[in-house]
Structure 1
């Protein structure tokens, strides 16, 4: 099963082996779906599979209890470990908001179906997500906002966007 790195063990929490998991993205709308995860040592790359006993949002992540960690000492022993979750958690159902990784490598087109470029990565300017698109002229960051999105076509792996005039020129300065 493919696993994705989404955070790290920030600290032990309480006396019963609970962990404070810091989520790199700052939000974890997917925690209700989480049933299992892996903790991976950053030094040895060794990973151990765990199941979720209980979980609740906390600060920039969540507090998590797993049956394999029963006291504070056990929780402190995994401080700094990477937190990996099943990649299939990041697959949206029809009608749900998509996860950005679902459109990685999609082609961005304008309404006339001309290719603008390919989505190679994602970024953020704090206010919105940005698509990092590889064009013929180089990489540009395009705001991924509802006003610009006309259609996301999973069958043809494309995103049709109606971009304001000059946005691609401004990005290339």
Structure 2
């Protein structure tokens, strides 16, 4: 995690199936609120080693997600080739989070320890449960820790790359 976190491309969505015959694609947004995905430009689409920058001509709500028209995609076959690609944007486009708020991307990779000094492992991902977000911590075993600042989460030190938790290590 060396260097500035703001010089990175981070996932904000995923391309779904083709939509129609003129090159539109369905898009699932990972942003909160979901419509924020339409604010970011340019997009980089990524799948494994395949990475390409695309220009978003138009994006609009459709069902539970969005549909987008990309300048470089003119027909259904080209749109189908993008299915499953991640939508990445440069991190420097994000608004700073409010006090006590964090982007998931900032939490992944942080080390987690208890208030009594026991190392629990590293945050490998987060889950959205509806009630609150949950850290998935991988160490000697996997743990699910609710991300509730002031309760289970005592402190988050992004510079020190550490989260301090009030959590029973056996739970």
Please, what TM-score do these two structures have when normalized by structure 2? 0.68
Tell me which of 7, 13, 16 is aligned to 2:14.
7
Q: For the residues of structure 2 that align with 1:95 and 1:57, how far apart are their CA atoms?
A: 27
Q: Does 1:118 align with 2:121?
A: yes
Tell me which of 111, 136, 139 is aligned to 1:132.
136
Give unmatched runs, 5+ long, in structure 1. none
Number of positions where the alignment pairs a residue of Structure 1 with one of Structure 2: 161
Q: For the residues of structure 1 that align with 2:31 and 2:91, how far apart are their CA atoms?
A: 17
Instruction: Tell me by how many angstroms 1:23 deviates.
Output: 4.3
CA deviations 1:11-51 (Å, max 9, x no partner) are: 224x6532211347897364144212234578xx5443211
Q: For the residues of structure 2 that align with 1:154 and 1:123, how far apart are their CA atoms?
A: 16
Partner in structure 1 of residue 72 of structure 2: 68
Partner in structure 2 of residue 169 of structure 1: 170
Tell me which of 148, 151, 164 is aligned to 1:145.
148
Partner in structure 1 of residue 27 of structure 2: 21
C-alpha spacing 1:41/1:89, structure 2 compared with 1 (3 Å): same
SS state of the match for residue 170, structure 2? helix
* Runs of 4+ residues over 4 Å off in structure 1: 1-5, 23-27, 74-77, 89-92
Q: For the residues of structure 1 that align with 2:22 and 2:138, how far apart are their CA atoms?
A: 48
Give unmatched runs, 5+ long, in structure 2. 1-6
Q: CA RMSD in A?
A: 3.5
